[in-house]
Structure 1
Amino acid sequence: MKTTHFHTCNLCEAMCGIEIEHRGDEIIAIRGDKDDPFSRGHICPKAVALQDLHQDPDRLRHPVKRTIDGWVPISWDEALDETARRLHEVQQRHGRNSVATYFGNPTAHNHGALFTLLQFQQALHTRQRYSATSADQLPHQLAAWQLFGNQLMFPIPDIDHTDYFLVIGGNPLASNGSIMTVPDVKNRFKDLKKRGGKLVVIDPRLTETAAVASEHHFIRPGTDVYLLLSIIQVLFKELLVAPGKLDKLLDGKSDLQKLTENWTPEKVTEAVGISPEAIRKLARDIAAAPRAAIYGRVGLTTSPHSTLSAWLVYVLNIITGNLDREGGVMFSKPAFDIVALGALGGEAGSFDRYRSRVHGYPEFSGEFPVTTLADEMLTPGQGQVKAFVTHAGNPVLSCPDGGKLDTALEGLEFMVSIDLYINETSRHANIILPPTGQLEHGQFDPIFQAVAVRNVVKYTPPAFDKPEGALHDWEILNGLATRLKRLKAQTRRERLQIAASDRFMRRIKDTGIIDLGLRLGPYGTGGKVMAALKKDGLHTLPQQAWKLLRGKQKGLTLQTLKDNPHGVDLGPLQPALPERLFTRDQRINLVPALYFRALQGLPVPKTPKPDEMLIIGRRHIRSNNSWMHNSQRLVKGKGRCNVLIHSQDAERLGVVEGDDLVLSSDAGSITLPVWVADDIMPGVISVPHGWGHDRQGVQLDVARRTGGASINDVLTSKRVESVTAMAQLNGVPVKVEAAAKPKPKPRSKPKKAVADA
């Protein structure tokens, strides 16, 4: 019998509602959910790939252990017991910081993993913590913490009401938004234009978003900071700074003016690649727009000066009066308030409390940048990383110097991966712990609901029953955390507390935490409990939880969401300041000391050397993460892992469409076919990330047959961002040359016939 199930696609940030038609475990069709109030029936090609991922024969369905005879299945108890024991033994021998952890992008899409991540980290008690954050959005989090007092206080473009939308280094039509959850963005752009608004894109490439923009400017990769400084200089020079109602909350405006007064359009034009007239027009258009929103993303936040660039994007919104106003950038009011709960748990943000062992890189929010991970494994001495834990991550393909990290993983004493696949990273693991698949657990998005362009909330139960003997991510992490704590416990009281914590988590489950968070949120009725938590700390939550969950179901609860399978629209973003500020004085300091110091040392921009080409990444709507390449629906058609190059550069290098180019740097070299088009700035090349699945031992059949190479094999970990030392992935100079073409074999002369004797 056919059954229809309403779910949420969890393959990118858009949270598109989907309708899954299935017969038992067989998926018949996946369509957009027209009754979802947020996505409005929209889906992109990734959603239909959920069928491939659910039925993938390469997907692991039970724990496996690597032996000299290959991978062998083991029981969950054996897998969890041995993992905890081996990690504990490494820490006993080499110290607590000898174990490192890495959490990948999909962790943020899994509420169960998010809810148990902290207790697992606390059980390990290591400073060697890493994640995809430092190869992606760290500068946004740092700026949010410095300006607004909380690393998750992201100002979100009110795209549905703005009159002028400026996008720098982002491509929402390919990404469906990023730190701006915005499904059906194509139609939202159309609505923007219909009401007389403008979409302006600044990018080294004519992206899918730039192609539909009202205006597009090429910019030399890595120079966003100089453009932003120049725009702000023009605003001050021409008396266009007008914070409006925010003025009474601001400090540091005069400091900002002094710091930017010398960054004139004429000073930066050669390096940036945009004329002084165009820079001035950008500044004037922003100031003149009734409602404007400035948005910067990955191209900007993985550049040489991304810390300053992300901060200046927020500052530009503030000084033009576009923060906390309709049609500008605003703060969400999420039903599950991870911002407030994070602050209660001491997770509001931190920077440079301590530094990494090898390079002395600063921590951010308890994590080191991935640029030092391989060297922490390879460099001998006290504190050397000897064991490694990954969750939903493939840093060999997603972090710079992938080849070096590949080598480093081979020398570890122990490694465990919580992952669905044997990929380029997990192939080095001693044990792999596969959780349930995307459609076998419920879906709730506390992070992406908090960065959505409308206030929305939705929970969807599993589309399929959890397979017998399988474990969810939260059960795996809770199981490991409990075992590690038991091994470290020294008193009976500690053991009793560990047992009580384990019972609490097993009893409340992931759904209980969702329900609890909703009741504690702004649409629930847990105000008194929230006040008590603010007073006594988040550690008192278990004592408060049962009382709240057993109370009458008033306000928003999990049951409300179960009764509304398409989701609940809580309305447009609303002004929230100063009440929503987490700064101590509920004011905004425009120029925190961190940025003041960084600006003092900012060098005068230089144009690239004649023999250099700057490499940038490239997003495609069918490709978000490396593990999606094992879906035939997503990789079919013309190959997409190639080098996009301008026709002028192709002619100079003597290559034509389809020829091979060799890209090389201190990190290594890769060879890829050429794609010639004038959709990119001369002197710049573009290569997508996440490809290159031909390493020995990878068990991803479809992905291995797609070809390609990893861009991170030529991006060196030595080239880091100037303040945080995070990964620099865009605007990196590389050597580019035509691959040697094989010489044609000489045609052999026909042999003369030999006469019979």
Structure 2
Amino acid sequence: MDSTTADTPITLHHRICPLCEACCGLTVQVQGRKVISIRGHDDDVFSAGYICPKGVALKDLHEDPDRLRTPMIKRNGRHVEATWEEAWAEIAQRLPAVQAAHGRDAVGLVAGNPSSHKIGLMLYLGRLIKALGSRNIFTAATLDQMPRHLSSGLLFGQWMSVPVPDIERCDFLLILGANPVVSNGSMWTVPNFKAKARALQARGGQMVVIDPRRTETAALADTHLFIRPGADVFLLLGMVHTLFAEGLVQLGRLAEWAQGLEQVREAVQPFTPEVVAPRCGIAADTVRGLARQLAQTPHASVYARIGTCTQHYGALNTWLVDLLNLLTGHLDEPGGAMFPKAAAFALNTSHLAATQPGQSLKGRGVALGRFSSRVSAAPEVMGELPIGCLAEEMETPGAGQIKALITVATNPVLSAPNGPRLSAALSQLDFMVSMDIYLNETTRHADVILPAPSPLEDLHYDVPYPQLSWRNHARYSAPVFGPAAEQAMDWETLLRLAAIASGEATTPATAAQLDDQLFAQDMQRRFGALAPAVLAATAGLRGPDRLLDVALRTGPYGDQFGQQPDGLTLAKVQASGPSGGIDLGPLQPRLPEMLMTPSGLIEMAPAALLADLPRALADLQQPTPELVIIGRRDARSNNSWMHNLPTLAKGPMRCTALVHPADAARLGLAEGALVRLSTRTSQGAQHIDAQVSLSSEMMPGVVSLPHGWGHDLPGTQLQLAAQRPGVNLNALLDENQRDPLSGTAVLSGLPVEMVAVEGAKTKVFTHF
């Protein structure tokens, strides 16, 4: 119960925003348990006061009456509030029964991208996955980023060795299929990208954006080029071809640390600019000009993201971007594409500590296809299967059929292709458990929902994003509020689930006891005879704090448990919180020390990627569709649940179909017209109805509709979102359309038919 009064003192807290990859520093003004205001933290060493509307919306999220605060159990088809012990008893009774009857693979798990912003989920989800012992693991990575991990793994030997533009020193930035003005980076953590791009231009640099929509980033660029959706691979191949044909290849100091150059040269020979130009919609001379400018600018970088990943050639696209940076001498060089050095949790920084400067230590590299999905035989990547396979794995009888499912911070009914099929499959499960803050389009199928704490009730340290950041840093946020009564922390919930999944007693030890046991075992395996000293040094810590302290102390800037007295510890990072964290400096060259490939070299020509090029060559002969559909991102709509927050939901309706005026005239469409968008998929014809918004920012022949909408399904508890539900773009998409190498869903560039809905009247878009 809130006992705040007018006399309650107002306090100021410093936080890291957990709502997108920008990870901006915030100052939160609080009175009792009420949030008074949220602003950017001017002294934050990473974001320097920048804030977007999502940061302000943390207040809405904390106070949202729809946010779940107690467990929910489905009784007679309806969700009712329950105690934690009732929820645990339900899970303990039903989950092991499924495992006993059908085997370990009968329980699947799906995790969403909000998991990456919560340290408890990031550090403890692996314990649940290990306890389940199931091959049926799925995450949002195969909806947006798996091609990036695949290329990093094959070329550099580690999934998270991701090069990002060194924008502080870059003089030419080429961007494909990304909109960092809106996203503030994606697989590139760069708050206030707009200011950094303007600074690049102010010092005489140039930014070129290639996208089928004149996005907010394209509007800022010096040059914007339209490209036919799905044709990025041909543009990139034409550019690589040009580098070889015109003698522009210059590996520089990395020449002795790379192999496969001649294989790449031979592989790209068929893809001349003249051959690829008609398919891209970009002239051959322009293709050559881009390659020349990239090669001839001393400090330059190529950056590509979701638009290039969520298509048939996602893996090839990402590989070719890496090749362009490498072949022009811009990989791992100031002003080019560089590798951040995270203070904690990055495997390639742990590896670095075991090497000598200037030397490469051979690693195990990465393995692909260690197992495959049961129905479609889709190969695993990073230990997970394509999320497009989830529905068929639940529907298809036989050994290994998914009979029970655990979902963690995810809403695949709206975010994955063919949500209606997935929803129907979820309704047939024997048992389903969800960890989530909302009763949404996916969790409405759950038998038990376990709520998470408000972000303001939890500590925060970004686990993945310092590995992707524009500048090296270390920042920590303490909880603003204590947890609500009985509310379990994410790590505690995962440990209890893991105990049940591993077959322990129906009333397992407390989460703290489980954590102590597992931590002691891990430290013994890792440190051997030194484990007692590590346990003693961390004796006052529990949960993620304890793991973070060990990771910081053993990281590249750490105190190594006293061996480097000036090094980082959790206490030192915590103490820096009010001053905005610890700045660890600009990006620095890291090759060859961080290479973890079996050869100890950059593997420029992985066999799997070379073998996929004939598919692209054959595709050049295929006709281009008359009209295709793409998604788009809005600064206020990173995830579907954000449509339920007043600060983000206000303003014009955003779920509209952007159509070029020429296409609208051809089809007889006016502003606000209702159109039927139809596709033909492996599951039959699909259609949705959406309102048209005319926009010259669209490339003719391309229509754009944002993802994550469709809040009109029964049984949900998203009252504000339901007032303007929008339509679900992903209902049009085919879950069997995937990049064959990474398993990533094809969400962009698919053919679509668009016709006016007869008898429908045009409509003025409403505002909240």
| TM-score (normalizing by structure 1) | 0.91
The answer to whether the Cα contact below 8 Å between 1:99 and 1:388 also exists between their aligned partners in 2 is: yes
The structural deviation recorded for 1:648 is: 0.9
CA distance in 2, matches of 1:283, 1:401: 38
Relative to structure 1, the CA distance from residue 284 to residue 743 in structure 2 (aligned partners, 3 Å threshold; closer, same or farther) is closer
Q: Matched residue of 1:570: which SS?
A: strand
Relative to structure 1, the CA distance from residue 306 to residue 742 in structure 2 (aligned partners, 3 Å threshold; closer, same or farther) is closer
The answer to whether structure 1 residue 173 and structure 2 residue 181 are counterparts is: yes
CA distance in 2, matches of 1:72, 1:503: 39
Q: Matched residue of 1:460: which SS?
A: coil
Matches within 5 A, 1:67-106: 67-68=75-76, 70-106=78-114
The structural deviation recorded for 1:412 is: 0.3
Provide Cα deviations, 1:574-628, integer angstroms capped at 9, x if missing partner: 0111111111232112101111111133234458868641111101111100011
The answer to whether the Cα contact below 8 Å between 1:150 and 1:343 also exists between their aligned partners in 2 is: no
CA distance in 2, matches of 1:500, 1:472: 18
CA distance in 1, matches of 2:622, 2:91: 49
The answer to whether the Cα contact below 8 Å between 1:642 and 1:675 also exists between their aligned partners in 2 is: yes
CA distance in 2, matches of 1:507, 1:626: 35
Q: Which of 680, 689, 692 is equivalent to 1:671?
A: 689
The answer to whether structure 1 residue 2 and structure 2 residue 10 are counterparts is: yes
Q: Matched residue of 2:227: which SS?
A: coil
CA distance in 2, matches of 1:91, 1:377: 15
Q: Matched residue of 1:354: which SS?
A: coil
* Residue of structure 2 equivalent to 1:492: none
* Residue of structure 2 equivalent to 1:508: 542
Relative to structure 1, the CA distance from residue 75 to residue 349 in structure 2 (aligned partners, 3 Å threshold; closer, same or farther) is farther
The structural deviation recorded for 1:484 is: 2.6
CA distance in 1, matches of 2:107, 2:471: 40
* Residue of structure 1 equivalent to 2:570: 558
Provide Cα deviations, 1:341-371, integer angstroms capped at 9, x if missing partner: 8989x99743111111100100011100011
Provide Cα deviations, 1:360-384, integer angstroms capped at 9, x if missing partner: 1000111000111001111111211
* Residue of structure 1 equivalent to 2:712: 694
The answer to whether structure 1 residue 587 and structure 2 residue 601 are counterparts is: yes
After alignment, is 666-675 or 55-64 more displaced? 666-675
Letter aligned with residue 561 of structure 1: V
* Residue of structure 1 equivalent to 2:616: 602
Q: Which of 536, 549, 554 is equivalent to 1:520?
A: 554
Provide Cα deviations, 1:652-677, integer angstroms capped at 9, x if missing partner: 11101100111112352111100111
* Residue of structure 2 equivalent to 1:60: 68
CA distance in 2, matches of 1:202, 1:4: 43
The structural deviation recorded for 1:724 is: 3.1
Q: Matched residue of 2:371: which SS?
A: strand
| TM-score (normalizing by structure 2) | 0.90
* Residue of structure 2 equivalent to 1:233: 241
Letter aligned with residue 450 of structure 2: L
The answer to whether the Cα contact below 8 Å between 2:277 and 2:284 also exists between their aligned partners in 1 is: yes
Q: Matched residue of 1:666: which SS?
A: strand
Q: Which of 92, 102, 116 is equivalent to 1:108?
A: 116
Relative to structure 1, the CA distance from residue 342 to residue 686 in structure 2 (aligned partners, 3 Å threshold; closer, same or farther) is farther
Relative to structure 1, the CA distance from residue 498 to residue 197 in structure 2 (aligned partners, 3 Å threshold; closer, same or farther) is closer
The answer to whether the Cα contact below 8 Å between 2:146 and 2:743 also exists between their aligned partners in 1 is: no
Give unmatched runs, 5+ long, in structure 1. 490-495, 527-547, 745-757
The answer to whether the Cα contact below 8 Å between 1:271 and 1:607 also exists between their aligned partners in 2 is: no
* Residue of structure 2 equivalent to 1:530: none
CA distance in 1, matches of 2:303, 2:370: 29
CA distance in 1, matches of 2:60, 2:514: 43
The answer to whether structure 1 residue 259 and structure 2 residue 267 are counterparts is: yes
Relative to structure 1, the CA distance from residue 343 to residue 95 in structure 2 (aligned partners, 3 Å threshold; closer, same or farther) is farther
Q: Matched residue of 1:352: which SS?
A: coil
CA distance in 2, matches of 1:603, 1:244: 30
CA distance in 2, matches of 1:187, 1:236: 35
Letter aligned with residue 573 of structure 2: L
Letter aligned with residue 190 of structure 2: V
The answer to whether structure 1 residue 625 and structure 2 residue 639 are counterparts is: yes
* Residue of structure 2 equivalent to 1:371: 388
Relative to structure 1, the CA distance from residue 608 to residue 713 in structure 2 (aligned partners, 3 Å threshold; closer, same or farther) is farther
Letter aligned with residue 659 of structure 2: I
Letter aligned with residue 179 of structure 1: M
The answer to whether the Cα contact below 8 Å between 2:673 and 2:692 also exists between their aligned partners in 1 is: yes
CA distance in 2, matches of 1:480, 1:201: 46
Relative to structure 1, the CA distance from residue 80 to residue 624 in structure 2 (aligned partners, 3 Å threshold; closer, same or farther) is same
* Residue of structure 2 equivalent to 1:536: none
The answer to whether the Cα contact below 8 Å between 1:337 and 1:522 also exists between their aligned partners in 2 is: no
The answer to whether the Cα contact below 8 Å between 1:270 and 1:607 also exists between their aligned partners in 2 is: no
Relative to structure 1, the CA distance from residue 501 to residue 197 in structure 2 (aligned partners, 3 Å threshold; closer, same or farther) is same
The answer to whether structure 1 residue 427 and structure 2 residue 444 are counterparts is: yes
The structural deviation recorded for 1:678 is: 1.1
* Residue of structure 2 equivalent to 1:437: 454
After alignment, is 659-668 or 730-739 more displaced? 659-668
The answer to whether structure 1 residue 741 and structure 2 residue 749 are counterparts is: no
CA distance in 2, matches of 1:620, 1:706: 16
Equivalent pairs counted in the alignment come to: 716
Relative to structure 1, the CA distance from residue 488 to residue 220 in structure 2 (aligned partners, 3 Å threshold; closer, same or farther) is farther
* Residue of structure 1 equivalent to 2:526: none
Q: Matched residue of 1:439: which SS?
A: helix
The structural deviation recorded for 1:84 is: 3.8
* Residue of structure 2 equivalent to 1:539: none
Provide Cα deviations, 1:279-327, integer angstroms capped at 9, x if missing partner: 1110111011111110010000001111100111001100100011000
The answer to whether the Cα contact below 8 Å between 2:150 and 2:742 also exists between their aligned partners in 1 is: no
* Residue of structure 2 equivalent to 1:711: 729
* Residue of structure 2 equivalent to 1:320: 328
Give unmatched runs, 5+ long, in structure 2. 1-8, 353-362, 507-512, 523-539, 763-768
CA distance in 1, matches of 2:448, 2:468: 35
The answer to whether the Cα contact below 8 Å between 1:293 and 1:317 also exists between their aligned partners in 2 is: yes
CA distance in 2, matches of 1:41, 1:446: 21
Letter aligned with residue 557 of structure 1: T
Relative to structure 1, the CA distance from residue 557 to residue 507 in structure 2 (aligned partners, 3 Å threshold; closer, same or farther) is closer
Q: Which of 316, 322, 325 is equivalent to 1:308?
A: 316
Q: Matched residue of 2:611: which SS?
A: helix
Q: Which of 700, 709, 725 is equivalent to 1:682?
A: 700
Provide Cα deviations, 1:515-534, integer angstroms capped at 9, x if missing partner: 111001011132xxxxxxxx
CA distance in 1, matches of 2:486, 2:262: 63
After alignment, is 473-482 or 596-605 more displaced? 596-605
The answer to whether structure 1 residue 274 and structure 2 residue 308 are counterparts is: no
* Residue of structure 2 equivalent to 1:755: none
The answer to whether the Cα contact below 8 Å between 1:397 and 1:710 also exists between their aligned partners in 2 is: yes
Q: Matched residue of 2:457: which SS?
A: coil
Letter aligned with residue 111 of structure 1: I
Q: Which of 494, 498, 503 is equivalent to 1:481?
A: 498
Q: Matched residue of 1:380: which SS?
A: coil
CA distance in 2, matches of 1:647, 1:69: 47
* Residue of structure 2 equivalent to 1:533: none
The answer to whether the Cα contact below 8 Å between 1:163 and 1:196 also exists between their aligned partners in 2 is: yes
Provide Cα deviations, 1:489-547, integer angstroms capped at 9, x if missing partner: 9xxxxxx9998328889963111111111001011132xxxxxxxxxxxxxxxxxxxxx
The answer to whether structure 1 residue 219 and structure 2 residue 227 are counterparts is: yes
Relative to structure 1, the CA distance from residue 743 to residue 620 in structure 2 (aligned partners, 3 Å threshold; closer, same or farther) is closer
Provide Cα deviations, 1:90-149, integer angstroms capped at 9, x if missing partner: 111111111110000000111111111111001000000000000110001010000000
Relative to structure 1, the CA distance from residue 499 to residue 214 in structure 2 (aligned partners, 3 Å threshold; closer, same or farther) is closer
The answer to whether the Cα contact below 8 Å between 2:314 and 2:744 also exists between their aligned partners in 1 is: no
CA distance in 2, matches of 1:590, 1:64: 51
Provide Cα deviations, 1:464-501, integer angstroms capped at 9, x if missing partner: 11111101111100111123324389xxxxxx999832
Letter aligned with residue 638 of structure 1: P
The answer to whether the Cα contact below 8 Å between 1:478 and 1:502 also exists between their aligned partners in 2 is: no
CA distance in 1, matches of 2:237, 2:564: 54
